[in-house]
Structure 1
């Protein structure tokens, strides 16, 4: 590096130390930005042919042009620089009016390369995050809108510059960090104005200086809709920072075991299965196994039997409805064994049937006769013959 160029760098970093570092943080990310390079070249006066030649030669960023030749700023011999200018302008020797444009564009490219190296060497953990340049930010925003044509990236879905810079800094530092919900702010919040307060605190070099601290913006996530929009802005910022593609991030998450576990349906109860069977018995029978289908049929029959029991009890209980369940009130509840649920607890006259006779047999009376527990008759609905229910055919 020449002495003249070193003098320029020293003046920038020593005469205005606080301002220069802030300025360098804003411009060093322009080094590898094609959009910023082409925008700056146009502002310096480069015509369309020269821009096409730069792209054809592969010098489409400041970083590439800075090392396109062995010439360094301040060097007396400009032969290498003029040869580069001839390739860019398309005329050999280059025209006198076009050479200053190439010389200035090369000088800025070389300066940015040196500033980027200085920032990487002096960078500390508490240094301010690097930010996207305006031209690069606009170019990425336009590319994102073209790719995601089905999303209206305005208003609620436009990520703030702070959120995009936060994600972009992850790529610069090569460290993935968690972005909190309240950090997923939108651009409209920044445009409304940010309150700035002066604060005295030490800088990266340890010197206490007065710095302007902006009031931190927070995203509103009070409702489900606002939370969904905030998370969508976070996804769009990762896409704009070119860390995660917006179209396939979701697909990978759906294949994750923890996500697929949460998407599994809950186990339904017996009543839900019985309702489905009543609505479409053929469909339920084809989808369920034969054993499960038979079990559901038995459950339905038992439930229907219980309804008949309640109706029979209400018709044979003349005191039903006269008294409540106060002290001393009589009830006509019949507790049946689980094996007999759904069958007739009484005969047509309202007299009880013997449960033991219908379960395992009873020796206290013959079939068709009555024992102390009830009549020895079949408890199957509509039968009532002198045999136990397990022998019913």
Structure 2
């Protein structure tokens, strides 16, 4: 037996270079107990490991390129579904027996939007109607791969494709729907590792505790618009506190360490103060005294007295009354020269009454005509 094929020689060499007995036994169990066998050894999963190494490097390089070339208007980076499911499962264990499903499960679009803000290091406000459910997302999104939007980039001027997500809004009709939307936002905050669900519940409890308080005498109850204003103010102050970026402390999410300080700020509590009631306009009482015609203008002005006609002059004619005409009798008049009413139905050919029609005279309503035997429609 040659030197290289000797198992004891191989073991002695392993011991001389400092390998432990357990390592030598592992090599022996795999059949690598001589120098030639170890020199030409190849693990059964070697090809799979090399492929995994190549994919890992490619993904890391692509992620670095995306971060460097990212611009406004680009779609948010999507967390892998496996990662989202794992984080929700970890959060579910913390919140047990509260179930993260149905109205409590946020949409992946909401989680990705928050995750993008954390990755960019620039905090932004998340509107309530943006806190949609996963069920809405599944039922409401239909991808149209043929519709693309291209426009120049603001910074480089290069024409790029811009992503437009389908517009989904969460229902916010009742107080319960608002509460559920805020809970979904809290779940999305923790899944995206921006703020813990427990810290977000402090904000939600503050808003609803003030909303449900009875209003003092002379003041109005807190409105939903005030809750929205306070919520916006909290996020503005959180953005100011994290100008340097959303850096994580060990065991603490980036917004948790600033939230309590922001909630105690006067600018936040001022938004939740009850507003004074507006005074009601006084109701004018009916006066029993007669109005003074000379001092105040009357709605029914006094008619001017007609001067008596001079000798030899005919009495002045009364002004003809005006009346809205039907569509088919436009251009006609409703009264004759003696201010006697004219029947519209007769001129339209729809009146079945005789000459003694209670609606008016059966004559032509053409101005200046007023003759019998023909109507406005047959006037020549």
Same fold (TM over 0.5): no
Structure with the larger helix share:
1
Q: TM-score, normalised by structure 2?
A: 0.41
Q: TM-score, normalised by structure 1?
A: 0.40
